[in-house]
């Protein structure tokens, strides 16, 4: 199958490959996979307390389209607010990378990875809010 | 095939119906093989060489269907996937979260494979040993998951009200096997590469 030139570019020069420490407060990690082909994708976002995505890293083990999709989203999400990043649709990835129909699931994977990473970050911060709120209450009471 | 006279009939049948067996997940492989050979003989195109064109064609397509049915149903993984399809289920729908311990293992092994590609000499030998150990671990894990799959098959067949949770579990086990098989394939490929 012929890959589009954009897929090849991301595949040959993937952007933002690597990882952040997954336990860090400002890091959200999303690990998703495509069970039909066994591809796995890890996307990590570094997010400011105000909810702005500062930086992104990925590691994907899978086909060229899966690698290109994750590489592309690391660039796409940088500088966006999490609310905005949550609205990114896989169709935008399909369009940008010119993915053929059999590779659409790779773009779905990338979309799900963004959501999973943001959800992970939020869950870390909900815990913070709770633990921050609890002593406050105790002090009041 | 006509049950009265044994004439092949052209019909769209699912794989279970093609073999004349109930749509159950648990199958005895020997029984399946016997059925396949028996039906294959009775539907064989050679037996209808002198028949009308419609019957000859029906014999050909029935034989092709029978072969596809046998190949799909004899392997528990492809049987499970096919069965899900018949239920209108897709393996990937609502099922893209990889369990954390599985993901960790996949990323660990894949990173070791990447190391092997850039290692030389004695380093490469050490990495190879590590990968061989991972390979054994992955194979064992696949074996466990297959046993798990069979247990889940039996549970589904025995359940009266067909609990939807069982389908979720079935999908999880089949996905796990798919991830492990991909990993195992990648390990094989990495080990085939010369240093």
How many angstroms separate the CA atoms of A97 and A5, rounded? 8
How many angstroms separate the CA atoms of B180 and B142, rounded? 6
Among A42, A105, A112, the residue with its CB nearest the CB of B107 is: A42
The question of whether A106 is a catalytic residue gets the answer yes
The DSSP-derived string for B113-132 is HHHHHH--HHHHHHHHHHHH
How many angstroms separate the CA atoms of B73 and B89, rounded? 17
User: A124 phi and psi, to 5 degrees?
Assistant: -65, -35
Same-domain status, B121 and B57: no
Residue B9 lies in a domain: no
Does B142 score more than 50 pLDDT?
yes
Are the C-beta atoms of residues B130 and B113 closer than 8 Å to each other?
Answer: no
Which residues in chain B are closer than 8 Å to A42, comparing Cβ atoms?
103, 107
Q: What's residue A130's pLDDT?
A: 61
Minimum CA–CA partner of A22 in chain B: B104
Q: What's residue A126's pLDDT?
A: 83
- Contact with chain B for residue A96, Cβ under 8 A: no
Question: Which of B56, B74, B92 is the last residue before a domain boundary?
Answer: B74
- Contact with chain B for residue A31, Cβ under 8 A: yes
Q: What are the pLDDT tens digits along chain A (141 aa)?
A: 578 899 999 989 999 999 999 899 999 999 999 888 889 999 999 999 999 999 999 999 988 899 999 999 999 999 999 999 999 999 999 999 999 998 998 999 999 999 999 999 999 988 766 655 555 444 443
Q: Which residues of B touch A (CB under 8 A)?
A: 91-92, 95-98, 100, 103, 106-107, 110, 171, 174-175, 178-183, 186
How many angstroms separate the CA atoms of A111 and B156, rounded? 33
CATH class given for the domain over A5-132: alpha beta
- Contact with chain B for residue A52, Cβ under 8 A: no
Does B95 score more than 80 pLDDT?
no
Same-domain status, B66 and B150: no
Q: What's the whole-number average pLDDT of chain B?
A: 89
Residue B82 lies in a domain: no
Is the interface score ipTM higher than 0.85?
no
Question: Which of B74, B89, B111 is the last residue before a domain boundary?
Answer: B74
pLDDT, tens digit (0-9, with 9 covering 90-100), for B149-191 = 999 999 999 988 778 888 999 999 999 999 999 999 999 999 8
Question: What would the mean pLDDT of B77-89 be, rounded to a whole number?
Answer: 93
> Are B179 and A59 an interchain contact pair (Cβ–Cβ within 8 Å)?
no
Residue B52 lies in a domain: yes
Residue B113 lies in a domain: yes
Model confidence at B33, pLDDT cuts 50, 70, 90, reads very high
Which among A22, A25, A37, A75 is annotated as catalytic? Answer: A37
Structural domain boundaries in chain A: 5-132
Domain that holds residue B39: 15-74
């Amino acid at each position: 199958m012929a890959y589009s030139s954009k897929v090849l570019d991301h595949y040959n020069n993937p952007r933002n490959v690597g990882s952040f420490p997954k336990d860090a407060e400002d890091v959200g990690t999303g690990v998703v996979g495509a069970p039909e082909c066994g591809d796995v994708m890890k996307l990590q976002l570094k997010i400011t307390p105000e909810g702005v995505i500062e930086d992104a890293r990925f590691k994907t083990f899978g086909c060229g389209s899966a690698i290109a999709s994750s590489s592309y989203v690391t660039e796409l999400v940088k500088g966006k607010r999490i609310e905005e990043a949550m609205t990114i649709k896989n169709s935008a990835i399909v369009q940008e990378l010119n993915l053929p129909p059999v590779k659409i699931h790779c773009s779905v994977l990338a979309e799900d990875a963004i959501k999973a990473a943001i959800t992970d970050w939020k869950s870390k911060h909900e815990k913070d809010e709770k633990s921050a709120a609890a002593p406050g209450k105790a002090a009041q009471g | 095939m006509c049950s009265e006279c044994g004439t092949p009939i052209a019909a769209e049948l699912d794989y279970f119906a093609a073999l004349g067996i109930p749509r159950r997940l648990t199958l005895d492989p020997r029984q399946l093989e016997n059925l396949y050979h028996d039906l294959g003989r009775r539907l064989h195109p050679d037996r209808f060489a002198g028949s009308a064109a419609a019957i000859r064609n029906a014999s050909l397509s029935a034989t092709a269907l029978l072969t596809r049915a046998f190949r799909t149903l004899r392997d528990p993984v492809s049987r499970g996937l096919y069965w899900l399809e018949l239920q209108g289920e897709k393996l990937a729908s609502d099922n893209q979260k990889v369990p954390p311990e599985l993901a960790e293992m996949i990323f660990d092994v894949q990173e070791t494979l990447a190391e092997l590609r850039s290692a030389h000499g004695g380093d490469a030998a050490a990495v190879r040993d590590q990968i061989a150990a991972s390979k054994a671990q992955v194979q064992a894990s696949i074996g466990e998951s297959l046993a798990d799959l069979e247990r889940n098959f039996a549970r589904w067949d025995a359940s009266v009200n067909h609990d939807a949770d069982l389908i979720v579990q079935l999908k999880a086990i089949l996905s796990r096997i798919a991830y492990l098989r991909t990993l195992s394939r990648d390990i094989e490929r990495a080990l085939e590469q010369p240093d």
